[in-house]
Amino acid sequence: MSLIVHKYGGTSMGSTDRIKNVAKRVAKWSRAGYQMVVVPSAMSGETNRLLGLAKELAPTSVDLSYQRELDMLASTGEQASSALLAIALQAEGIDSVSYAGWQLPILTNSAFTKARIESIDDKRVMGDLAEGKVVIITGFQGVDAHSNITTLGRGGSDTSAVAIAAALKASECLIYTDVDGVYTTDPRVVPEAKRLTTISFEEMLEMASMGSKVLQIRSVEFAGKYKVPLRVLSSFTPWDIDLQEEARSGTLISFEEDEKMEQAIVSGIAFNRDEAKISVIGVPDKPGIAYQILGAVAEANIEVDMIIQNISKDGKTDFSFTVHRNDHAKTLDLLKGQVIPELGAAEVVGDAKICKVSIVGIGMRSHVGVASKMFKTLSEEGINIQMISTSEIKTSVVIDEKYMELAVRALHKTFDLDQDKA
Amino acid sequence: MSLIVHKYGGTSMGSTDRIKNVAKRVAKWSRAGYQMVVVPSAMSGETNRLLGLAKELAPTSVDLSYQRELDMLASTGEQASSALLAIALQAEGIDSVSYAGWQLPILTNSAFTKARIESIDDKRVMGDLAEGKVVIITGFQGVDAHSNITTLGRGGSDTSAVAIAAALKASECLIYTDVDGVYTTDPRVVPEAKRLTTISFEEMLEMASMGSKVLQIRSVEFAGKYKVPLRVLSSFTPWDIDLQEEARSGTLISFEEDEKMEQAIVSGIAFNRDEAKISVIGVPDKPGIAYQILGAVAEANIEVDMIIQNISKDGKTDFSFTVHRNDHAKTLDLLKGQVIPELGAAEVVGDAKICKVSIVGIGMRSHVGVASKMFKTLSEEGINIQMISTSEIKTSVVIDEKYMELAVRALHKTFDLDQDKA
């Protein structure tokens, strides 16, 4: 019988009543004959509570020893919720066992608070599944080669679930969450937004990276790399709805481009106000400057999203990129303190009051003029574009954050996303 | 420089302010040049909160899978408080690192919820100490040979601390707690009770086993077995009191019987109302009955304390023993369901409304008549004795629990324990 991975977010695990509901849902799948592996997040609020305690003790420290302890601390939330779910399943009469990351192990690198999974040993899980047990595996955490606990960063339980599904060659990984699927854009911004029944892996990657917040981006990358069929669906349907109906609900992230997909030019509008813009002005235009700037940033473990370099003028060029808003001040300090003096650049300026808006769609590959239609729409609304970045299946612009809702609504309408599709 | 182990209870770790105080105290010792290992309990209330959640999910289950998950769950409390203490020390400028039991490992057997330590690997700790780090080790928990997390039972952090002190050959193990030492008896029952500056290991063992609640009994056993000098002292003194003064405070559990000890006949009065009495009446008096009764009890992992067998009459005998009050009903069920029918005993009766009162003192070894003085005192107070058990350094009686305070106060006075000693 096929092996299924379920992942439940913190809201779904938020109280003992909700954990009982998760247990009943998982028990339904188990009784229907599926081999079940479940990856729960910490109970909602728990991770914040723990990190809040740490902050009371050490408000500002960021060194490696501190981050190691943060991971020791934060990982307890998932361990507790996993044990609780195992107990709830046992109370349902389902034999079950929970494992922390180190018990399999789920091996990661040593980048505390934002580690990456390197391998998952499936021996123990496969043995338990063969004995008919439901296996619960803590999300969000692993262990490095020196037996230190690591965590994968916020939302890391999605990544855990997909990586586990890949390692176990699961038929499908179901991400139960507080939304019922992936929408053409955020329905809180555009009430006319429609749920997509399928979306391609590449589009989902762009939607996730834009902060659609349905799935953590790394989980989508993992799903793409290992071809794990991924479904986003609601954990708020009654646990006893028909299993086949449940199995078809939500949004399937698909790896086969069918004809239907080709018909839609733009599948969705993504947006994100978690980024900040950094511009290094008046950089001498010579080989290696991008590396000099971004190498230092990468070494500080700061992730860079958009990167733009304009053509040079008088032997000088301007170099801009975006980072997470939380890393904005740190990046500015880093560049001012070390990189700018070495480079001989004129100055570095930052702007945290920006947002990124993207149109995403596989159909863009074969349709010209999609980007220009986007720019025309923004211009008609009087919105100035600060940065542009394009890929085969998306076009992103950085604009002043105050225009975000206006831009998203206008684009949603321009690309006919509020029309029901066949 | 000498290696010292500190253990802090849940009350001492009960808030971030208290954790900061613990960190300042440990930092003081570290700066004075001691190699420091610290074993913290979970923040007060945390273990109860976690086990309360489990109880909401599965009110009655007691099977092995369930107990395994309880240990997964409960162990998170100590892991979190250890990480928090490491962070608080780092904020004090002291390099520190925390370890869960499995990370060393602290190897235990697989008796979930009441495991016993089998070995402790000191390699990692010794390496960190050599680098000048303060090492925090989670109390209460270990790992079995199959990489399952185990816990040592309530109060198990004391045992962890002493076992760690033994493994690391520490000069002294300091148990910081909410009382300032070991008293001649519980000051809440006898206000005239005096603090002992030293007590022998054997006396402490008897005091601890009688529920003086200062130390978990297994920790005292461990200290005795490995000759770990153990000190019980208050965690409520200001953290910045003179280190030498602090190092001499509380009560030292000593392994050398000095003259002063010999002078006191009785060192203290211990009592305990956590026990229940079980009597198997009319057992055919033949070889093997004690084993038949207690073997079944031990197999069910129920600990037995006092055991009394009277002389037989008409080929029948009565067999009595005490168990923890929590195990009372379970023991009765076990005996009624299985053992009594096999034995052909007449009946089994239980009484949970008892208490045990003991006089404890190394001096009893060389002084006759101490026990009879005890019985005389109780008789003068009109207290009926139900069971008697003696050892070289203690005499215990089981009496109706309603006489407990009366008995303790009378005995405290009889043995001159409320007089100041030179």
pLDDT of B262: 46
Contacts of A389 (CB under 8 A, 6+ apart): A306, A307, A308, A395, A396, A397
Helix (H, G, I), strand (E, B) or coil at B15: coil
Residue of B nearest to A100 (CA): B72
A208 has pLDDT over 60: yes
- Angstrom distances, CA of residue A115 to CA of A80, A146, A306: 21, 14, 22
Indicate whether A166 and A61 sit together in one domain.
Answer: yes
The model's confidence at residue A259, banded by pLDDT at 50, 70 and 90, is: very low
pLDDT of B410: 95
Q: How far is B90 from chain A (nearest CA, A)?
A: 7
The model's confidence at residue B420, banded by pLDDT at 50, 70 and 90, is: low
More confident residue, A308 or A17: A17
A317 has pLDDT over 50: yes
Does residue A187 have a cis peptide bond before it, meaning omega lies within 30 degrees of 0? no
Instruction: Say yes or no for a CB contact (<8 Å) between B86 and A69.
Output: yes
Residues from chain B that touch A79, judged by Cβ atoms under 8 A, are 72-73, 75-76, 79
pLDDT per residue as tens digits for the range A59-118: 876 688 999 999 999 999 999 999 999 999 999 999 999 999 999 999 999 999 989 999
Residues from chain B that touch A54, judged by Cβ atoms under 8 A, are 83-84, 87
Instruction: Say yes or no for a CB contact (<8 Å) between B72 and A79.
Output: yes
Indicate whether A21 and A126 sit together in one domain.
Answer: yes
Interface mutation vs chain A, best among B44, B55, B67, B87, most A CBs within 10 Å: B87
Closest Cβ opposite residue B98 in set A20, A63, A69: A69
Q: How far is B233 from chain A (nearest CA, A)?
A: 25
| Spatial separation of the C-alpha atoms in residues A101 and A78, rounded to whole Å | 10
Question: Residue A347 maps to which CATH number?
Answer: 3.30.2130.10
Indicate whether A251 and A137 sit together in one domain.
Answer: yes
Residues from chain B that touch A76, judged by Cβ atoms under 8 A, are 76-77, 79-80, 83
pLDDT per residue as tens digits for the range B296-345: 888 888 888 888 877 777 788 888 899 999 999 999 998 988 888 888 87
Q: How far is B57 from chain A (nearest CA, A)?
A: 5
More confident residue, B120 or B343: B120
Indicate whether B190 and B58 sit together in one domain.
Answer: yes
Question: Residue B121 maps to which CATH number?
Answer: 3.40.1160.10
Residues from chain B that touch A52, judged by Cβ atoms under 8 A, are none
Residue of A nearest to B77 (CA): A76
Residues from chain A that touch B61, judged by Cβ atoms under 8 A, are 87, 90-91
Contact B70, B58 (CB under 8 A): no
In 3D space, the residue among A347, A275, A281, A284 whose CA is nearest the CA of residue A320 turns out to be A281
B105 CB-side CA count, 13 A: 19
Contact residues, chain A to chain B, C-beta under 8 Å: 16, 19-20, 23, 50, 53-54, 56-58, 61, 63, 65-66, 68-70, 72-73, 75-77, 79-80, 82-84, 86-88, 90-91, 95-98, 100, 102-103, 147-149
Q: In the numeric block, which tokens belong to residue A112?
A: 């505390």
pLDDT per residue as tens digits for the range B64-84: 899 999 999 999 999 999 999
pLDDT of B133: 97
Indicate whether A231 and A335 sit together in one domain.
Answer: no
Chosen domain end from B256, B272, B291: B256
| Spatial separation of the C-alpha atoms in residues A247 and A196, rounded to whole Å | 15
- Angstrom distances, CA of residue A128 to CA of A3, A84, A95: 12, 18, 10
| Spatial separation of the C-alpha atoms in residues A284 and A282, rounded to whole Å | 6
Least confident of A162-176, A222-236, A245-259, B32-46: A245-259
| Spatial separation of the C-alpha atoms in residues A246 and A249, rounded to whole Å | 5
Indicate whether B298 and B222 sit together in one domain.
Answer: no
Q: How far is A38 from chain B (nearest CA, A)?
A: 15
B145 has pLDDT over 50: yes
Indicate whether A199 and A292 sit together in one domain.
Answer: no
How many residue contacts between A and B have a Cβ separation below 8 Å? 126
Indicate whether A37 and A173 sit together in one domain.
Answer: yes
pLDDT of B231: 95
Our CA angle for B306, B312, B317, nearest 5°, is 55
Interface mutation vs chain A, best among B16, B64, B65, most A CBs within 10 Å: B65
Region B43-51 average pLDDT: 95
A307 has pLDDT over 90: no
Residues from chain A that touch B96, judged by Cβ atoms under 8 A, are 65
Chosen domain end from B229, B256, B283: B256
Least confident of A358-362, B119-123, B360-364: B360-364
pLDDT of B422: 38
In this prediction, the answer to ipTM > 0.85 reads no
The model's confidence at residue A369, banded by pLDDT at 50, 70 and 90, is: confident
B388 has pLDDT over 50: yes
Indicate whether A395 and A313 sit together in one domain.
Answer: yes
Chosen domain end from B227, B256, B285: B256
The model's pTM is 0.79
The model's confidence at residue B211, banded by pLDDT at 50, 70 and 90, is: low
Domain count, chain B: 2
Indicate whether B218 and B279 sit together in one domain.
Answer: no
Contact B190, B198 (CB under 8 A): no
Contact A359, A318 (CB under 8 A): no
pLDDT per residue as tens digits for the range B286-299: 777 778 888 888 88
Q: Give the helix/strand (H/E) hosting B64.
A: helix B64-91
More confident residue, B111 or B210: B111
pLDDT of A262: 46
Residues from chain B that touch A100, judged by Cβ atoms under 8 A, are 72, 149
Residues from chain A that touch B148, judged by Cβ atoms under 8 A, are 103
pLDDT over 90, % of chain A: 57
- Angstrom distances, CA of residue A9 to CA of A154, A157, B76: 12, 8, 19
Region A188-213 average pLDDT: 81
A275 DSSP β-pair partners: A324
Q: Structural domain of residue A270, as residue ranges? A: 260-422
Instruction: Say yes or no for a CB contact (<8 Å) between B69 and A83.
Output: yes
B421 has pLDDT over 60: no
| Spatial separation of the C-alpha atoms in residues B20 and B18, rounded to whole Å | 5
What is chain B's mean pLDDT, rounded?
A: 89
Least confident of A33-37, A208-212, A303-307, B204-208: A208-212
Percentages of chain B per state (helix, strand, coil), in multiples of 5: 40, 25, 35
pLDDT per residue as tens digits for the range B19-30: 999 999 999 999
Region B379-388 average pLDDT: 89
Instruction: Say yes or no for a CB contact (<8 Å) between B87 and A98.
Output: no
Q: How many CB atoms lie within 10 A of CB A64?
A: 11
In 3D space, the residue among A197, A214, A235 whose CA is nearest the CA of residue A26 turns out to be A235
Indicate whether B174 and B201 sit together in one domain.
Answer: yes
Q: What is the DSSP letter of A201?
A: H
Contact residues, chain B to chain A, C-beta under 8 Å: 16, 19-20, 23, 50, 53-54, 56-58, 61, 63, 65-66, 68-70, 72-73, 75-77, 79-80, 82-84, 86-88, 90-91, 95-98, 100, 102-103, 147-149
Indicate whether B101 and B179 sit together in one domain.
Answer: yes
| Spatial separation of the C-alpha atoms in residues B168 and B160, rounded to whole Å | 12
Interface mutation vs chain B, best among A20, A24, A56, A121, most B CBs within 10 Å: A56
| Spatial separation of the C-alpha atoms in residues B276 and B101, rounded to whole Å | 34
Contact A201, A209 (CB under 8 A): no
| Spatial separation of the C-alpha atoms in residues A262 and B229, rounded to whole Å | 77
